[in-house]
Amino acid sequence: MKIPKFAVKRPVTTIMMMLLVLLLGFTSLTGLKLDLMPNINPPVVAVMTTYPGAGPEEVAEMVTKPLEEVIGTSSGLSMLQSRSSSNSSLIIAQYEWGADISEVREDLSTTIGLVQLPDGVERPMLVKFDPTMMPIMQFAITSGEDLTKLQELVDEVVVPQLQNIDGVASVSVVGGFEEEISVRLDEEKLIENGLSQEQIVQLIQANNLTFPGGMIEENGEKLSLRVLAKVESIDMLKDLPVSIQPSETELEVVRLEDVAVVELAPVDSSSVARLNGAESLLISVQKEGTANTVQVSNRVQDRIESLQENHSEINISVAMDQGDIINQSVSNVSLALIFGGIFAVAVILLFLRSIRSTIIVGIAIPFSVIATFVLMYFSGMSLNIMSLGGLALGVGMLVDNAIVVIENIYRHLANGSSRKEAAINGASEVGGAITASTLTTLAVFLPIVFVGGMVGDLFKELSLTVAFSLISSLIVALTVVPTLAGLLLKKEKVKKPREYKWYQTIIKWVLSHRLITLLVAGVILIGSLALTPKIGTEFMPSQDEGIYRVDVELPMGATFERTMEVIERLETVILEDSDTDLVTASIGNSDPMMAAVLGSGENEGSLTVTLVSGDERNRSTFEVVNDLEEVIADWNEDAEISVSVSNSMEAMAGAPNMIEIVLLGDSKEQLEEYSSELASRLSEYEQFKTVTDSVEDGKPEFQYIVDKDEAFKYGLTSYQVASFINQSLQGQIAATIFDTQVRVSVNDISNSKEAIEELIISTPTGQQVELKDIGEVVRGEGPVTVVRENQQDTIIVSGSFDGADMGSVMVNAQTAINEMIDDLNIDTERFTIKMAGGAEMMDESFAQLGIALILAIIFVYMVMASQFESLRQPFIIMFTLPLAITGVILGLLLTGYAFGITAFIGIIILVGIVVNNAIVFIDYTNQQRAKGLTVHEALVEAGKARLRPIIMTALTTMLGLLPLAIGVGEGTEMQAPMAIAVIGGLFTSTLLTLVVIPVIYSLMESRKEKKQMMKEKEA
């Protein structure tokens, strides 16, 4: 190989190239964005439509279904879900990964525009799902003073200052109250002046306008004329003339303030925000799509500190900061990377017993990492826990090539070569082997890059980072290491390598007892495979970010005050826990549109609990949640209370420890029967803590039944009666003055059943009729939300579980489904019952990664076949793969991790790593055989010469991954199973490679050698 020779002969050129790479690396590092996860954009579009006054069934038939038919024909659609509620329709269309969602959105916008919808339906709104839509920061503001002054400060000072920050897209406020101009009419004075509520509204509207008048020509000018009659203050509104009363001398003008109380008043609140039990304002900050999360977070933090200093009367508490989570996660993974590098260097020093050699190899780690930053920058990647996890994963492998090179140079020096000769010959001799081993490791990442869906997007950056770092390390090993060795190593200080006689004894014994060796290895493999069911499976490891959520739902119709009582009780219990830092609570939804779509009203509330940092508490978030659930279990509350751990991947990977089963069909009644039966069957399994379904009870309500015959006698229609009742109870929005609505209502109208029946309505003929004479108020049930999937009625059965893995829970759930289908003779052509959520994603991901694993094995074999120019020897090396499985199983079993997609990725990576030791071993064996040694002699010699580099490379990789495997701190939990799989697999495969591979090589090559010797004798 000529590369090492060029590098050693031109040391200044090599060093200049090193400095150039370092300069580019540091420049690239400053340009890399910090993020929690790679940029993942699920191909999802939501279509939201409002139909005021329509019930769920009308919305489903007249809005949702026509839109579903159009959306269902779009190409690349994988799933269609819809939710039809009172006044609104929500359709979620999920497309195949890789679809151009912007193009899909444009096509949908065009086709939806052609759909004929009923009058009164507002234009459908298309929203592309984007992770940047989620707030990056939430904080609560409290004050010792009343909420009115606090809200003024927030609206006039805090929000404008936050919106001016570079990178902030929007700032929203939850809690507090809105104000409106209240016009409360005096019923007696209305009658006295012959006025009605409707007339007052019309008078306000008719006297609050700006109208074009035409053109005026004067003095050679032609100017437009505007008629100005805007009401611009409350005093002007009070002074508005509404009637005329004759007096003794003149006509007296009756003004609005004479028949009504006009004032600025708070709107009735149906939502509230609280912090640690006190009413507060909860502020959410969203960043712009391309903005750096950490930078925006830091700017907002700086502005908060400034606001706090200038307004000492307020207290600002950060409830959630995505930037802080990113910093902690990235910091922890970076720490794992640094400690992994330190451990790797310590191994080199221990084995080579040379500080100069250790420095040379130690340089390979930071240099390869910095060179990787250059490739990451030009590939458009960011620094996140996956890309940094790739570096942490590769840190031990970064020195593998350098170790093999320096160890061989070291050996040449010990045998009497000069520094430059040792550097050139030592690097050239193993150049082919380390190139092959690097290519085999790179080969396994190629299939991962082509894995589709969320898993592909998630692990693509990890794969590319490892690939970039390995390419860098190979170039470093063939250029920088021999150059520095030629400059720094001194022949007289080189210690002769130890002779590992114990290993020579072992290899001689196993070569003499080949069948026994293979039998023992087979028993170990079969024994470990028998332990596989005890590991269990999962989709993704749960991440402990120190945040959990409590959702509360009371029966439909429950009052705001009743919901508040349950929230306050929960707050008291949670705040008594010493591990609690912040508790933010919200009730209802301040956005009427979102309340209609999501079904979040006065009967629902939620609490987000932030715990103290991990090093300040002895319990994990999961343990805190379990303890809280035990306390809540004893409550006798008429409310559904669910507690769940929050993490950053929940939106994409599903809620942890939750399984969902979807029932689809053409009969809603049958589906309800099947869902109830399935829920009761699942409840029989001890693994499930709670089992619920999405079937909603009818919403309790009061209904006014119009007697059409009686109403007709008075000349009234149902519409006139309905409008009168709505206007009497809700009031009417008459106008908007300085961005504040004007609501007109009759004063002192009670909301009781009796008071409503006694309301007096005026007929077209001027008669006064009580409502009880033309109808009655009765209690009944309103329609429920209509949920559909792929244009079929849908019910979702959800089960939360504890103390079990996703795989075993899925098996039990599938057993319950199959038994129910058989017992009830369910027609599977009409009804579909299937897994959804995390369980469905796990099945799909495992199938994709299974294909990636097969491809990785094929690619590795092809690279080795090319390297050895043989089909037989790569086959021998492939025997290291089943030997690695033993370590993976034992590693996961001992650490308590389940087998998920990260552990699966670990196995794929192992395919490229475990063969490296065998490649180095067999490559040297072939070199010795070429010198005339027999198979037995060549294997013993290879074992003696290659034991040290094999153990060193294995130890550096394993110890380099150790900090990641321990999984201490936020951000490291996701990579921990992957690191454990690699460490366990590499450990057992290295031990068995040193014993089993020589035996298999001996069995295959000895027979070939004997045949060749017989041919030579015959000749």
In this structure, which amino acid lies at residue 90?
Answer: L
Distance CA 551, CA 781 (A): 25
Q: What pLDDT does 271 receive?
A: 67
Model pTM above 0.85: no
Q: What pLDDT does 659 receive?
A: 84
> In the chain, which segments carry CATH 3.30.70.1320?
133-178+269-323
Residue 753, classified by CB atoms within 10 Å of its CB into exposed (0-12), middle (13-18) or buried (19+), is middle
> In the chain, which segments carry CATH 1.20.1640.10?
1-31+354-491, 501-534+870-1018
Q: Give rounded-to-5 percent helix, strand, coil for the chain.
A: 55, 20, 25
Q: Per-residue pLDDT tens for 102-137?
A: 788 888 888 888 888 887 788 888 887 766 667 888
In this structure, which amino acid lies at residue 144?
Answer: G
Q: What pLDDT does 458 receive?
A: 75
Residues in the chain: 1019
Task: Residue 278: name the closest of 673, 664, 568 by CA.
Answer: 568
Classified by CATH at the fold level, domain 501-534+870-1018 comes out as Multidrug efflux transporter AcrB transmembrane fold (1.20.1640)
Q: Per-residue pLDDT tens for 808-848?
A: 888 888 889 998 988 888 888 888 888 887 777 788 888 88
Q: Per-residue pLDDT tens for 698-710?
A: 666 778 888 888 8
Classified by CATH at the fold level, domain 1-31+354-491 comes out as Multidrug efflux transporter AcrB transmembrane fold (1.20.1640)
Scanning 233-292, the segments in alpha helix (DSSP H) are 234-238, 256-259
Distance CA 410, CA 423 (A): 8
Distance CA 775, CA 491 (A): 109
Q: What pLDDT does 595 receive?
A: 47
Task: Residue 690: name the closest of 650, 631, 641 by CA.
Answer: 641
Distance CA 184, CA 466 (A): 70
Task: Residue 545: name the closest of 454, 630, 625 by CA.
Answer: 625
Classified by CATH at the fold level, domain 546-646 comes out as Alpha-Beta Plaits (3.30.70)
Instruction: Report CA dihedral (761, 767, 770, 773) to the nearest 10 degrees.
Output: -120
Q: What pLDDT does 593 receive?
A: 43
Contacts of 852 (CB under 8 A, 6+ apart): 447, 448, 450, 451, 908
Q: What pLDDT does 888 receive?
A: 92
Residues 133-178+269-323, CATH architecture? 2-Layer Sandwich (3.30)
Q: In this structure, which CATH number among 3.30.70.1430, 3.40.1190.20, 3.40.50.300, 3.40.50.1820 belongs to the domain 44-129?
A: 3.30.70.1430
Task: Give the residue ranges of the chain where pLDDT is below 70.
Answer: 1, 53, 130-133, 144-146, 268-271, 394, 396, 491-500, 588-601, 647-656, 696-700, 782-784, 967-972, 1007-1019
Strand, coil or helix: what is 299? helix
Q: What pLDDT does 53 receive?
A: 66
The b/e string for 470-506 (b: 16+ C-beta within 10 A; e otherwise) is: bbbbbbbbbbbbbbbbbbebeeeebeebeeeeebeeb
Q: What pLDDT does 592 receive?
A: 44
Residue 691 · residue 682 · CB < 8 Å: yes
> In the chain, which segments carry CATH 3.30.70.1430?
44-129, 546-646
